[in-house]
Structures are given as C-alpha cells and as structure tokens.
C-alpha cells in the first residue's frame, strides 16, 4: 500500500471537518472490506485515511413505524438483530447473502451504500424499501431517497466531504418479502439479485409492492413497472408472471467478459417471478 | 502510531505504520506466522483471525484501528502446550494436506460452533464457504469437524 | 521392483492410514513455509512487469528508481550474467537432445505477454520497493499480437518468436481410418473447447535467498523441483556447486511451481547485493503472469460398430502455448498419447499442434495435457452410447483396454486395466437416484473414465536416489531430495522404510528437498514421486537391510534370509530377538556401514517416431472412473452437483488416507475446471487476476467426494503402487457434461460449464 496519514476521529463533527479539510485527498474507512483491497491494488492513493469506526453510528432503533439503522451497523448485526428480524426481515435475509463470514464481521451498511457496487445486495434492498439515507457534511445534514442516491457504477450523489450516517426504512412487519439471487458461487457478488416486498389488503389484493434489482445495470434498478402491474390486483400466478415480465422488459443489462446482458435479463425475469411468489406466500401467512 | 490490541489474551502495544495491516503487524513485526498471506483482498481466508470472537481477514484490518480489540490466532488455542481437540480431529481425519488453509479453517470452525454447536454437514460446508482449500476437496475437513461435533455433544 | 512381502495381509505399516508426520506441525501453524522466514538485513525484491502483451521496449531507464530511498539495486537484462533460462525439462540430468525451450530472465528488446518481467529491484522495505518500481521509466512501442492459435497459424500472422508460430506437432496414424469409418454403424462428430486455467495454489510463489558462510548462494523457496539450482547457477554464471536450493513444504504446487519462478531473481539479487533477499509474489501477480494450463480445441470424429465397439477415431488437437514454449511440446505429447482414452482403438489418427501466441505462457499443470483430452473422448463415448441405446457403464466395459492391448502410440499395456470394475463401482457409489426437489429442476447422472500416465516419459531415463542411515540407538534417518507438495510424499517414504527395516514410525526422521544435503530424487511432478523416490527408498532400504542382516546372521548363527526385522529388532524364525542398537554396535565393530545410498532407475526407453512407431512412451498408467449426479435448474441453467464418486486403481495404497485425500482433492479441482474456473483474456489482457474473478470451488460448491480405492496389486511403484497425484483431476468435467445431457438433453462442449452456457443450450435466450 502507498503510505498515508491516518486519522481516527471520535465525534461526527471531527470526522466531517477532517473530510472538509482534505476533500478528495481523503478516503473514509469503515468496514474496510472494499477500501483496503483497493489500497492493496494501489488503485487509490489517498493522502489521508479517515477511520470513522469510533463514531456513534451503530444503533438500530424502532420508532413510530420507522426503523433507524446507523451507518456503522455491521452486516452480521443486520443478520442477527432481533428487531430487524421482527420489523424488517428482508434486510436480514439480504445480509446473509453478502460475501463471506469475514466480510460480514466487519463490513458496514454505510460502507456498502457509499461504495455503490451495482451488484451488491444492500443498495438493491434500500431501493426496494424506498429508504431514506441520512447524509452529513460540515455544512449540515440532508436526507436523500435511496432511489435517487445511486447515480452510476461505484458512484453516488455523495460529495467528497459527505458521509452516510444511517438509513431510515419503514417497519413493514405485515409485508411478505423475498430476496432471490443468482451468483457464480455462493458468496460472490450477484449476477442478478431481486428484492421484493408485498403488502396485501383484507381482500388479499396487493396494496403495496416494492421491487428492485441489483446487477442488471450500472446501479440498482427500481422495478416500477412490476409494482404498477401488481397494485390493486389479486396476486395469482399469471399476475405475478406478467409483472415479472413487465419488469424484465424494461431492463437492458450490460454484457461483460463474464456474463451476457441477454442472460442477465432472462434471469432477472425468472428471479423476479420467484421473489414475488415467495413474497406473496409470506404475506399470506 | 501505536496499535493497541489484546493478542491471544495478552494486552500489547506495538509501533506500527499507518498503512500497516494486522496481518503485517503479526507476521513482519511480531514474527507470528499463524496467519498467512494469500490474496490481499479478504477472499481466500488464510489470514483469518478471530476479532472479538468473530472471523476477520487480518489483511483488511489496519493495525492502528484496533483500539484494544481482542485478536485470536491459532496459538491462542493451545492448552497446556497441547493441541485443541479440533486440531487433533483434523490430524486424525486426514484433513490436512499442504496445510496452508488449515489455521483459517480451524479458527472459522471454532467461531461457528460457538454459535451453532450441532450443525449438519451442509451447515458446516456453508460455514466454511469463505475459506478456500485447493488440496483436500473439503470432504475430510467436513469429516473432521463432524467428528469433533459428535465427540463434544 | 517387488517386495518379499507382497500381499496386503503381510504388510505392517504400508497400507495403514497412518497420521502423516507433517500434519501435527501444520495444524499448529508450526510449519515454516517459504514466506515464513526472515533473516537479519533482509531486503525485499520485486519484479516490474510489462502491461502490454506484445511490444518493443524502446526505453528503459532505472536511474530515478536507483536513487529512491532504501533501494539497494535495480537490475535489467544487461545485468544478468546469462539472461537465458532453459525450460525444456525441469530437473533433467541425462541429456535428451538439444534444449530448445528458452526464455529470458528479464526481457531484452521485446515483451511477448502481459506480465513479462522487465526489471528487478531490491529495497529495505516492501513499501520502498514498490515505490521504486513505479519510478522505473519504461517506454513501450506496442506491436500487433496474436491471441489464438488459429490467428497465430494463419498466413501472414506476426511471428511471436524468430520463426513461425507452430511450436510443436505430433502425429499418430494407426490402421485404416477411412475404411473403418465406411464400416461404422454410427459416426459422431464433436468439437470441444477447454479453457485456460490457473493452478491457484493458496501459497503464492515465495522464497528467501542468502549467501552462506561458504559463499554458497542458498535459496529457500516453495518449489516442486530443487534441481533448478543448476538453472540458477547458469544464469548467475557460477559453478553449480555454489548454488543450493532448499525446498520448503509447499502450500500447493499442482505443476505451477515446476518451472523456475522466483529463484533466478532471488539468486541475482542476493549475488548483486550480498544480502539476504525475500520475494513473495502477490496473488494479482501470480494470477496475471504465472504459466497456466493449455487451452485446447479438440475435434473428434468417432466411429463405432452396431455393437458399440469404437472402430475409428480421427482426432485433431490445437493448443495454445502462450508466449513461451516452457513444457508445451511435452504437454502436447501427453495429449496425443491419451487422445483416444483408455479404450481399444484399432484405427486412429491424431494430429496435434501447439502454437505460440501473445497470451500468458502455458506449461505444466496437474494432468499435463492428458486432462484436456478426457473432456473430449468421454463426451464422444457418451454420445456414441446414446446413439446406440447402450448405457454408459456397458459401453465402457465393452471398449476398455485390456492387458496386452496396444495404445495408438504403439505401447502395449502391461498391467491390469480396471476400467470395467472402476466404472461399475463409481456408478454404484452414487446410490439411489435423487428426485428433483421442484418442478423446474432436473436430475441426471454421468460417467467418465480416464487414463493418466505416471512416471516420466521413458526417454528421459528417470532416476531417483535416497540415503537411509541408522543412528547408534536404532533410530533411522531418511534423506531424499523429494519435495513435498502436501500430498504426503515425505511421510510415505517413512512408511516404506519402516516396512522394510522394521523400525517404528516414531523412530524415523526424514529430511527432504535440499539440493546440497539430500540425494536428488527428481521433480515432484508427473505423478512420479511416490513411484520414483518411493522405489528409491524401497531399494535402498532392501540394500541396507541385506548389509545389516549379514552381520546379524553371524551374531545369531543363522542364515540371513531366515531373519526378519520388526519392531526395532532383528527376529529369527524361532523367535529369538536382537535389538537394533546391539546390531549397530556390532556393525561398527565390523566396519560395516550403518547407512546406504541407493539409486533407482526407472525402466528407460528411446524416443519413438510417433507416426510409425511402436514403443513405450510412459512406464505405466493409472486408470479411473468418476460418476456424477447433477441437478439442473431448467429456468436458469444453474447446475448443482448433488453427488460425486471417484474410483481409481492405485495398485497399492501406501497410505490409504493420503490416497483418498489425493482423489478427493483432485476431483474437486476437476469440478472447478468443469464448472467455474477460467482465465479470461481479451487480446492478451488478463481480466481474472483476483480470487474474486478467478473462481475456485468453495466448500459450498461441491458435495462430498466418495473416493473408491481399488488395489489391483499391480503397479510399478513401491509395493506395486501407481501414481495418484494427477489421475483424479481428469474425469470430473466430462462426468458433469454427461450428467447434464442425461438430465436435460443438452450437450455442452465448451468449458467451463457455466449457467449461461447451459441456459443457451436449453434455448432460454432465443
């Protein structure tokens, strides 16, 4: 690794003023599971590494039907938290799919969102949930909708002096949910991932649908077309299949050296149908 | 910079460079070769340590950021100069060929069994999915873990 | 070489699943691998590599780098005393003709593959070394390159080296192929493609070199060949007895550490600086530029009669040698000899070629050319079976070679061929068929058999030596040059010595893999090490035994051939015993040596003319059969291996647990080859230089491998053992392809079998 200066602020304000001072010559270190390999490969050469692991951003709090999750909550906590299991189980299921056990020990929610890998699970989950991201800089705080946050491969709306402080998601314990993923091997980044949440009204018709894809573009894709095809309808097998098809038809995934766009598109349709089916089963229970 | 950690039960303070990883601290500064270098990106598992009881890639941890956390390497398992029963099981079941993956496999297994003491073979495989082995094909590693689980039921 | 006690029942130690002596150290992380070594004043060495696959070096200026802090020396081609490494036949002592395959230690005016070494430096710290590397100024002028054998062999293609791009060619022509095809009831044509893969050992290439107090340049590294001390001496232009290679216990080799890797650089840096130097390649570096497995195109035309007997094979092989020859000519030979598989083939034509390209160089890797052909010949066999309505086991039983049959190359098979038994047992080991767990899943089974040579080509006049010596207290020392790659090589030598000399295993210490201190035993490659060093230890032990029993006979007043050695004693037929320590004192008194150096020579042969020839190429072969049960998701193409069985005739299992481990490990490497591993190149640029993109199987990707060990009692190794290092890697890819066809009707002819390839085969993307 290149040499760098290391700072470990203990308050958010200290961290933000360091970021303001160093701008794009600094890199923020949380879990390190994405940043440190980049430094080993010498793909980035920050002058300063700002280690934010001491900041008080590690809480999970449920209040008024909304769940606040701090940016420093580790993946394994998302997996194991009793509160999330009760109020937002889709997050626990997604976290279980991330990387390997060591990545889940240290990797953080905020880190995953800021890193914005198009094939990562959590950006897709936040997009499906229509989460709100808390963002802070030395100038103040703002909230960004997850659906507006990701702007390209490894790119977000974050300015050089901003960090994600946490997310807020609705508590959706009555919803059915599912995460479906296809990857080359169990712990790999997804070739395609689908996150689906379904809420049913008293007649058993869909009154809320939230669907998002990962791995099919340069950022998570909010499958509005699928949601529209479901809302108000009885979720029969044909309705789900048509919704999945509608979602698939809006996709134009890229072809890379490993996987073709056509295959991604096909798989997206299959996994979407499977995710919707499982989400509906869960919603009915 | 000073790195502060509790290494195999002993509090340590060591002078480190800001960009020095825990793996480099252990191997280059302290001469502890329980952890190996295999890929520098947290994928292969040969650098595994237990960080506050959970498996972590020491190649991805900056030593300066340890802040007094507990780090366990393989020698931390030794009891009265003898081997841990899981180590004995690995030997008995032929779970060691070149041995490069072995320390990581052992630590990961022990951390896993703390949380899930009665896994079946499929669960063992899922737990070890992040520790690559190129020699054994995994079958005898799973045999060893299964035998250890049965013996400690 | 047979032993006096040839039956399993009479063996005491051989055949026991003993705990290997190195296992204890390894579970305690007490084994010092090559990188676990530090010396006072040690420098860190790094290599500068070309980013371009084909370019001229226009300017190379190291002045800035030399001035950087901590830098001890920066070297380029002009600083290398002899800048040529011969890579023809690692570890060879007997001359086998002019050495043709060479490469430069550091590039001269041209680079021919991405990652080719251009400069070398050493600095006080690794960080300083990397900073200095970036200060080396290189200007490249990119040249047009060729990136496939077809492209390379097309007329007008730029030459990778001085002359044309055809590196080597082998041909076999036996019988009348045209007539046989006319008589065939069924003819199956297939074109198959196997991919480039990496050895992907977990321990990267690593070593430390220093100059010892006698001025000997000592290199302690992870290698399968300690005889490279000669190559290093050549490069450094020092006498061969001034270079010593100490081979450490490897963290995996698989052929990737058969060629020279770090040793020439370490030797150069140690010589130029006078200080110890360490070099450890990064994973990126290793995946980028270390020699790989040859990708092949295999075109097969197979004809069978109505009974299902193969009567004609017309085979065309085309392989990619990459930028440098390394062992390509020999790899191609293995493919040529095994192209028709372990089957009788009355009429066979094989036309095999390998071409230079500007891709990464390809060289030795477990299987060594006999692996790629399995995918083709076993896919063909299954297709013939399907066309005739014959089941997979029956067709193989029908066609399997038998003792006395001749391989297309003209070699008569002299040992038992267990293919029918192996096929039946592997198939049966799958158990009752699984039922698909849901509507979109299909289950299928496939079988694949193979033959893999063990022992080196007989023209190489292979030999190995070993030294056994008793200490005065009856404990035994074994010294043998054999590097231990993790397969229990060193441990097996102890078992053999214990068996013959009656010493308890706990009283044997073994020293291996030191070119100055252990008698040379040749390479740990070619599934030869147990065969060769095992036989060397066996022979030496017998000779030592005879030496000592001569003295014992006098003491005990009986004929020497009525004596046995057991449990650290000499034992007479009527039960009297003599402790070894007493015998050894008597030997000292009688001036009879307590030690012996022995040499084992493998049966040698002369080169054959493949096109016409008759003759032996390899000493013998190991046969195997693998069976797979797979589950295919017909909506996504995802393949899961549910069950896997691997059966091999190993002659005799010296250590059954080690043998099972080799079979299971080799089979899983074969599954990786079949399902997920691929070096992806785009115009010579490697896109898979990380374990995140170069995928090897994890514990969650493969099922248990049921190893079925068959012991025919026939083999050329000690106690009739056969080599088992390589054979298990061959069949899995074909077994999987055959199982997928059984499950879905889709025949995949390209490796790796990715979900997308299966999806395309299923028509899902139309």
| Residues near A214 by beta carbon (within 8 Å), at least 6 away in sequence | A118, A119, A120, A121, A123, A124, A190, A192, A193, A194, A195, A220, A221
Give the residue from C373, C335, C447, C386 showing the smallest Cα distance to C193: C373
Q: What is the pLDDT of residue C89?
A: 76
Instruction: Give the right CATH number for A5-51 from 3.40.50.720, 3.40.50.300, 3.30.43.10, 3.30.420.40.
Output: 3.30.43.10
pLDDT digits (tens, 9 = 90+) for A114-152: 999 999 999 999 999 999 999 999 999 999 999 999 999
Q: Across chain A, what does the average pLDDT equal? A: 96
* Residue A1 at interface with chain C, using a CB cutoff of 8 Å: yes
Instruction: Give the pairing of strands A60-63 and A66-70.
Output: antiparallel
DSSP C336: H
> Per the CB < 8 Å rule, is C759 touching A42?
no
A116 to chain C nearest CA, in Å? 17
- What pLDDT was estimated at residue C766? 86
Among A262, A268, A272, A277, the residue to mutate for chain C (most C Cβ within 10 A):
A262
Residues of chain C contacting residue B19, judged by C-beta atoms under 8 Å apart: 127
Classify B125 as helix, strand or coil: helix
Q: Do B65 and A187 touch (CB under 8 A)?
A: no
| CA–CA distances in Å: residue C365 to residues C257, C302, C375, C525 | 9, 28, 16, 9
A 16-55 residues with CB below 8 A of C?
41-42
pLDDT given at position C94: 61
Q: Give the three-state DSSP class for C100.
A: coil
Q: In Å, what is the CA distance from C217 to each residue of C34, C274, C481, C672?
A: 16, 10, 18, 39
Give the 3-state secondary structure of residue C648.
Answer: strand
The yes or no reply on domain A60-170 and CATH 3.40.50.1390 is: no
Q: Which residue has the tokens 């279980």?
A: A96
- A253-259: list long-range contacts, CB under 8 Å, 24+ apart: A253/A192, A253/A215, A253/A216, A253/A217, A254/A217, A254/A218, A257/C680, A257/C682, A257/C687, A258/A184, A258/C680, A258/C693, A259/A191, A259/C756
Residue in C20, C700, C702 nearest the CB of B137: C702
Chain A CA closest to residue B112: A101
Chain-chain contact of C283 with B134 (C-beta, under 8 angstroms): no
Cβ–Cβ under 8 Å, residues B139 and C671? no
Cis peptide before C131 (omega within 30 of 0): no
A166 band by pLDDT with thresholds 50, 70 and 90:
very high
pLDDT (0 to 100) of residue C608: 74
* C254/B134 touch (CB, cutoff 8 Å), yes or no: yes
The beta-carbon neighbor of C24 closest among B91, B121, B136 is B91
- Chain A: partners with 3+ C-beta pairs within 8 Å: B, C
Q: How far is C626 from chain B (nearest CA, A)?
A: 15
Interchain contact A186–C (C-beta under 8 A): yes
Model pTM above 0.95? yes
Q: Do B83 and C251 touch (CB under 8 A)?
A: no
Neighbours of C7 (CB within 10 A): 10
DSSP H/E element including A197 = strand A192-200
- Give CA–CA dist C419/C402, Å, rounded: 9
Q: Which residues of B touch A105 (CB under 8 A)?
A: 51, 54-56
Contact call for B100 and C702, based on CB within 8 A: no
Yes or no, beta carbons of B65 and A29 under 8 Å apart: yes
Distance of alpha carbon B15 from the chain centroid: 24
Mutate to test the interface with B, among C27, C250, C648, C674 (most CBs of B within 10 A): C27
Per-residue H/E/C for C420-482: HHHHHHHHHCCCCCCCCCCCCEEEEEEEEEEEEEECCCHHHCCEEEEEEEECCCCCEEEEECC
What number is the ipTM of this complex?
A: 0.98
Does the beta carbon of A140 lie under 8 angstroms from any beta carbon of chain C?
no
Characterise C240 by phi-psi region: left (phi > 0), alpha (psi -120 to 50), beta (else).
alpha
State the Cα angle at B110 between A40 and C655, rounded to 5°: 95
Where are the domains positioned within chain A? 5-51, 60-170, 176-284
Nearest chain B residue to A185 by CA distance is B129
- Average of per-residue pLDDT across B139-143: 98
- Rounded to whole angstroms, what are the CA distances from C257 to C203, C247, C641? 11, 11, 30
pLDDT value at position C2?
34
Does the distance separating the beta carbons of A186 and C700 come in below 8 Å? yes
Size of interface B-C (CB pairs under 8 A): 170
Average pLDDT over residues A21-34: 96
Q: Where are the domains of chain B?
A: 2-77, 85-151
* Nearest of C154, C149, C156, C100 to residue C354 by alpha carbon: C149
* Angle A148-A149-A155 from CA coordinates, rounded to 5°: 130
Q: Could you tell me which residues come within 8 angstroms of residue B118 by beta carbon, excluding any fewer than 6 positions away?
A: B149, B153
Given a contact cutoff of 8 angstroms between Cβ atoms, the answer to whether C761 and C748 are in contact is yes
Domains and CATH numbers, chain C: 8-31+463-601 (3.30.365.10), 43-143+206-280 (3.90.1170.50), 296-457+607-761 (3.30.365.10)
> In the prediction, which pLDDT does C1 show?
32
Best probe of the B interface among A100, A104, A108, by most B CBs < 10 A, is A100
The residues that bridge with C303 in the sheet, in sequence order, are C187, C312
Per-residue pLDDT at B19 exceeds 60: yes
Rg (CA), chain C: 27
Q: Which of A262, A269, A213 is nearest to A240 (CA)?
A: A269
pLDDT digits 0-9 by tens, C236-271: 999 999 999 999 999 999 999 999 999 999 999 999
Whether A270 has its CB under 8 Å from any CB of chain C: the answer is yes
A137 at the B interface (CB within 8 A)?
Answer: no
Sort out which chain C residues have CB atoms less than 8 A from A267's CB and list them.
636, 759
Q: Tell me the H-state helices in C49-159.
A: 63-66, 126-135, 149-153
Q: How far apart are CA C244 and CA C725, in angstroms?
A: 27
Contacts of B108 (CB under 8 A, 6+ apart): A101, B45, B48, B55, B127, B128, B130, B131
pLDDT in tens, A63-111: 999 999 999 999 999 999 999 999 999 999 999 999 999 999 999 999 9
C59 SS3 class: strand
Compute how many other C-beta atoms are within 10 angstroms of the C-beta atom of residue A112: 28
CB contact under 8 A, A106 and B59: no
> Is the confidence at residue A186, as pLDDT, over 80?
no
pLDDT digits (tens, 9 = 90+) for B80-91: 878 999 999 999
Asked if B43 lies within 8 A of A100 by C-beta distance, the reply is yes
Listed as ranges, residues in chain C with pLDDT below 50 are: 1-7
How many residues belong to chain B? Answer: 153
CATH architecture of B85-151: Orthogonal Bundle (1.10)
Residues of A in contact with B112 (CB under 8 A): 101
- Structure confidence at residue A251 (pLDDT): 97
Chain mean position to CA C622: 14
User: How far B61 CA sits from the closest chain C CA (Å)?
Assistant: 17
Q: For an interface test with C, give the residue of A266, A271, A272, A277 to mutate (most C CBs within 10 A).
A: A266
Between A205 and C100, where is the model more confident? Answer: A205
Domain covering B2-77, topology: Ubiquitin-like (UB roll) (3.10.20)
Joined together, the tokens standing for residue B19 give 């960009």
Longest dimension (CA), chain B: 46
pLDDT at A260 over 60: yes
Mind listing the pLDDT tens digit for each residue in C534-589?
999 999 999 999 999 999 999 999 999 999 999 999 999 999 999 999 999 999 99
**CB contact A260 to C (< 8 Å):** yes
Look at residue C459 in the predicted model and tell me its pLDDT. Answer: 87
- Which secondary-structure segment (H or E) carries A212? strand A206-214
Region A247-271: mean pLDDT is: 97
Q: Per the CB < 8 Å rule, is B129 touching A186?
A: yes
**Domain at A176-284: CATH code:** 3.30.390.50
What gap in Å lies between CA C578 and CA C586, rounded to an integer? Answer: 11
């Amino acid at each position: 690794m290149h040499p760098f200066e290391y700072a470990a602020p203990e308050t958010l304000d200290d961290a933000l003023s360091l970021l303001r001072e160093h701008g794009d010559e600094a890199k923020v270190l949380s879990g390190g599971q994405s940043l440190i390999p980049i430094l080993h490969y010498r793909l980035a050469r920050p002058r300063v590494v700002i280690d934010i692991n001491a900041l008080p951003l590690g809480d999970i709090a449920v209040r008024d039907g909304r769940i606040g999750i701090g940016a420093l909550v580790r993946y394994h906590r998302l997996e194991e938290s009793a509160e999330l299991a009760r109020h937002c189980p889709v997050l626990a299921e997604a976290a279980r799919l991330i990387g390997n056990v060591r990545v889940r020990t240290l990797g953080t929610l905020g880190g995953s969102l800021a890193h914005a890998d198009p094939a990562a699970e959590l950006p897709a989950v936040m997009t499906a949930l229509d989460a709100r991201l808390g963002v802070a800089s030395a100038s103040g705080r703002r909230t960004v909708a997850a659906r507006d946050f990701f702007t390209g491969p490894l790119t977000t709306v974050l300015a050089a002096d901003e960090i994600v402080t946490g997310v807020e998601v609705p508590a959706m314990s009555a919803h059915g949910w599912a995460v479906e993923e296809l990857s080359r091997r169990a712990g790999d980044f997804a070739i395609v991932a689908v996150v689906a949440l379904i809420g049913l009204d008293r007649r058993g018709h869909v009154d809320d649908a939230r669907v998002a894809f990962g791995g099919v573009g340069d950022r998570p894709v909010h499958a509005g077309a699928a949601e529209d095809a479901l809302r108000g309808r009885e979720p029969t097998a044909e309705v789900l299949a048509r919704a999945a098809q509608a979602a698939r038809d809006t996709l134009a995934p890229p072809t890379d050296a490993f996987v073709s766009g056509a295959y991604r598109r096909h798989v997206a349709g299959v996994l979407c149908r499977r995710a919707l089916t499982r989400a509906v089963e869960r919603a009915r229970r | 910079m000073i790195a502060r950690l509790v290494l195999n039960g002993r509090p340590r303070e060591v002078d480190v460079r800001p960009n020095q990883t825990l793996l480099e601290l252990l191997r280059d500064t302290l001469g502890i070769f329980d952890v190996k270098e295999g890929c520098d990106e947290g994928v292969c598992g040969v650098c595994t340590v237990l960080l506050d009881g959970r498996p972590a890639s020491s190649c991805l941890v900056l030593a300066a950021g340890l802040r007094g956390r507990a780090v366990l390497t393989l020698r931390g398992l030794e009891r009265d100069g003898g081997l841990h029963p899981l180590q004995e099981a690995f030997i008995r079941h032929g779970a060691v060929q070149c041995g490069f993956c072995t320390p990581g496999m052992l630590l990961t297994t022990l951390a896993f069994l703390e949380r899930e003491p009665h896994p079946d073979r499929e669960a063992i495989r899922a737990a070890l999915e992040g520790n690559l082995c190129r020699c054994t094909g995994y079958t005898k590693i799973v045999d060893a873990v299964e035998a250890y689980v049965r013996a400690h039921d | 070489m047979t032993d006096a006690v040839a039956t399993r029942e009479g063996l005491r130690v051989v055949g026991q699943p003993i705990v290997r002596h190195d296992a204890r150290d390894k579970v305690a992380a007490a084994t010092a691998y090559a990188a676990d070594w530090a010396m006072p004043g040690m420098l860190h060495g790094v290599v500068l590599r070309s980013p371009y696959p084909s370019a001229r070096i226009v300017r190379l200026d190291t002045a800035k780098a030399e001035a950087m802090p901590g830098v001890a020396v920066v070297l380029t081609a002009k600083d290398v005393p002899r800048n040529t490494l011969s890579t023809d036949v690692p570890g060879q002592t007997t001359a086998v003709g002019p050495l043709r395959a060479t490469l430069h230690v550091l590039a001269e005016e041209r680079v021919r593959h991405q990652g080719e070494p251009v400069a070398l430096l050493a600095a006080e710290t690794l960080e300083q070394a990397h900073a200095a590397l970036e200060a080396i100024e290189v200007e490249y002028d990119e040249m047009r390159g060729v990136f496939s054998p077809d492209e390379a062999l097309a007329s007008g293609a730029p030459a990778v080296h001085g002359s044309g791009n055809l590196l080597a060619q082998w041909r076999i022509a036996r019988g009348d192929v045209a007539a046989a095809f006319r008589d065939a009831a069924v003819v199956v044509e297939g074109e198959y493609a196997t991919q480039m893969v990496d050895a992907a050992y977990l321990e990267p290439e690593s070593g430390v070199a220093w100059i010892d107090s006698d001025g000997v340049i000592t290199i302690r590294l992870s290698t399968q060949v300690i005889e490279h001390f000669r190559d290093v001496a050549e490069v450094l232009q020092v006498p061969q007895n001034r270079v010593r290679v100490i081979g450490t216990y490897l963290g995996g080799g698989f052929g990737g550490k058969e060629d020279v890797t770090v040793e020439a650089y370490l030797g150069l840096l140690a010589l130029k600086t006078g200080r110890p130097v360490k070099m450890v390649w990064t994973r990126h570096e290793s995946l980028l530029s270390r020699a790989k497995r040859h990708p092949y195109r295999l075109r097969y035309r197979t004809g069978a009669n109505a009974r299902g007997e193969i009567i004609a094979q017309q085979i065309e092989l085309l392989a990619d040698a990459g930028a440098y020859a390394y062992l390509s000519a020999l790899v191609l030979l293995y493919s040529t000899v095994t192209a028709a598989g372990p089957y009788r083939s009355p009429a066979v034509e094989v036309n095999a070629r390998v071409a230079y390209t500007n891709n990464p160089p390809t060289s030795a890797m477990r299987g060594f050319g006999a692996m790629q052909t399995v995918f083709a010949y076993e896919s063909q066999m299954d297709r013939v079976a399907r066309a005739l309505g014959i089941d997979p086991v029956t067709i193989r039983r029908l066609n399997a070679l038998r003792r006395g049959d001749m391989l297309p190359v003209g070699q008569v098979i002299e040992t038992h061929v267990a293919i029918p038994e192996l096929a039946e047992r592997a198939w049966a080991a799958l158990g009752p068929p699984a039922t698909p767990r849901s509507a979109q899943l299909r289950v299928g089974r496939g079988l694949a058999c193979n033959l893999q040579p063990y022992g080196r080509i007989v023209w190489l006049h292979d030999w190995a030596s070993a030294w056994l010596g008793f200490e005065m207290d009856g404990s035994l020392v074994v010294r043998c040059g054999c590097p231990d790659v993790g397969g229990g090589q060193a441990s097996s030598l102890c078992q053999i010595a214990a068996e013959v000399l009656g010493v308890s295993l706990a009283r044997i210490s073994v020293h291996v893999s030191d070119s100055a201190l252990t008698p040379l035993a040749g390479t740990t490659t070619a599934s030869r090490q147990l065969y060769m060093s095992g036989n060397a230890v066996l022979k030496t032990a017998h000779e030592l035994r005879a030496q000592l029993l001569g003295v014992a006979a006098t003491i005990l007043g009986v004929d020497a051939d009525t004596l046995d050695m057991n449990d650290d004693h000499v034992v007479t037929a009527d039960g009297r015993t003599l402790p070894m320590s007493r015998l050894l004192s008597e030997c000292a008194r009688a001036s009879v040596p307590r030690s012996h150096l022995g040499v084992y020579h493998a049966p040698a042969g002369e080169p054959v003319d493949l096109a016409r020839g008759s003759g032996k190429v390899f000493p013998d072969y190991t046969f195997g059969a693998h069976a797979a049960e797979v589950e295919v998701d017909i909506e996504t193409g995802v393949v899961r291996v549910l069950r896997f069985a691997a059966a091999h005739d190993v002659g005799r299992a010296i250590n059954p647990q080690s043998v099972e481990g080799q079979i299971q490990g080799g089979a899983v490497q074969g599954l990786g080859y079949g399902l997920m591993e691929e070096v992806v190149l785009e115009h010579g640029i490697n896109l898979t230089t990380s374990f995140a993109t170069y995928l090897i199987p994890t514990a969650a990707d493969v099922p248990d491998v049921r190893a079925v060990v068959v012991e025919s009692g026939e083999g050329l190794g000690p106690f009739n053992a056969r080599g088992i290092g390589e054979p298990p890697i061959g069949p899995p890819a074909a077994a999987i392809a055959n199982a997928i066809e059984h499950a879905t009707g889709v025949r995949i002819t390209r490796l790796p079998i990715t979900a997308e390839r299966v999806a395309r085969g299923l028509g899902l993307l139309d």
